[in-house]
Amino acid sequence: MLNVPPQTTSVQTLVPDAALKSVVTAHRPEVRVLRTVRLSGGVSADVYRIDLEAEDSALQSLVVRVHGPHHNGHPAALEVEILSALTELGLCTPRVMALDESLRFIPYPLVILHHIDGETFCLTLADDCRIGTMAKMLAHIHSVPIAGLPSLPTRIDPIPEIFDFLPQDSEFDRLRVRLSNIPNTRYDGPKALLHGDFWPGNLLWKGEQLVGVLDWEDAAYGDPLSDLACAALELSYVTGPSGAQRFLSAYNRLRPFDLNRLALWQLYVAAAAYHSMGGWGLDPNREAHMRATTLSTIRDAGALIL
């Protein structure tokens, strides 16, 4: 199933500070750990920033991603393969410092990453430049040559699971019939690298510059419009349809796409989100807003299909 990011803090397992310090100093014995900071916003991995003092008194930070009991993305070793390969290709992904599967200090596999100095933004309609930059980055990711990259799942067909997710409402009966009669919905173009969870919460900025793309644990190969539909829905939640349309228009100028094909993925992504968000622990007002947004997306995309 395509990952639909819930924009909420996961149920995390608190790792003791002493265990985190032991992990870091096992890999960097020359440093002194100053503090550990639990980072919120992750969907499945438990993420911590570790602030350090090096031998020359320089201050540094690392990030520890713990693949704990709620983790549902790629295994830690595959995550390291992906990040290492993308760093070699020049993408602004976190650089891997170490993979630790020893379970000596923490009973789960973990990845230690170099910290990227930047901040996330909850984008608004006023962030026109960042919305354009976000589209440019996603188009760049989809243009990365995949030969030589690690083996990943494929994501090429929005239809098989969509009937499990569409709201059980007679309003969508005609749409169900139409979708069931489309002869072939599999993507048959060149497979692209897919981030799998491309939304503002996984992007780091320094001013207007995009300096980091985080959380590649749902990366795949396949139809780039699956990524595009996810990102557009996430933008719709915070900027309304106008911000999402700006994003889609900016991407289309770089990588023109078929609106009807995008509509299939928008139906899938919005229906999956509508079906799943009751388990995301959202504030009731926020959930009501997101449900209204997903229903609007289903109706608009469905109108193109019908």
Asked if 231 and 138 touch (Cβ cutoff 8 Å), the reply is yes
The domains of the chain, with CATH numbers, are 17-114 (3.30.200.20), 128-305 (3.90.1200.10)
What CA–CA distance (Å, rounded) separates 108 from 92? 27
pLDDT at 244 over 50: yes
Q: Which range among 5-19, 62-76, 93-107 shows the weakest confidence by mean pLDDT? A: 5-19
Q: In the prediction, which pLDDT does 41 show?
A: 58
Any residues with CB less than 8 A from the CB of 200 and at least 6 apart, and which?
Answer: 120, 121, 122, 123, 134, 234, 235, 238
Q: Which range among 66-75, 151-160, 198-207, 253-262 shows the weakest confidence by mean pLDDT? A: 66-75
Q: Residue 4 carries which side chain, given as an amino acid letter?
A: V
What CA–CA distance (Å, rounded) separates 235 from 131? 9
Q: In the prediction, which pLDDT does 262 show?
A: 98
Q: Which range among 118-132, 177-191, 282-296 shows the weakest confidence by mean pLDDT? A: 118-132
pLDDT at 1 over 80: no
Residue 110 forms beta bridges with which residues?
66, 100
pTM of the predicted structure, to 2 decimals = 0.92
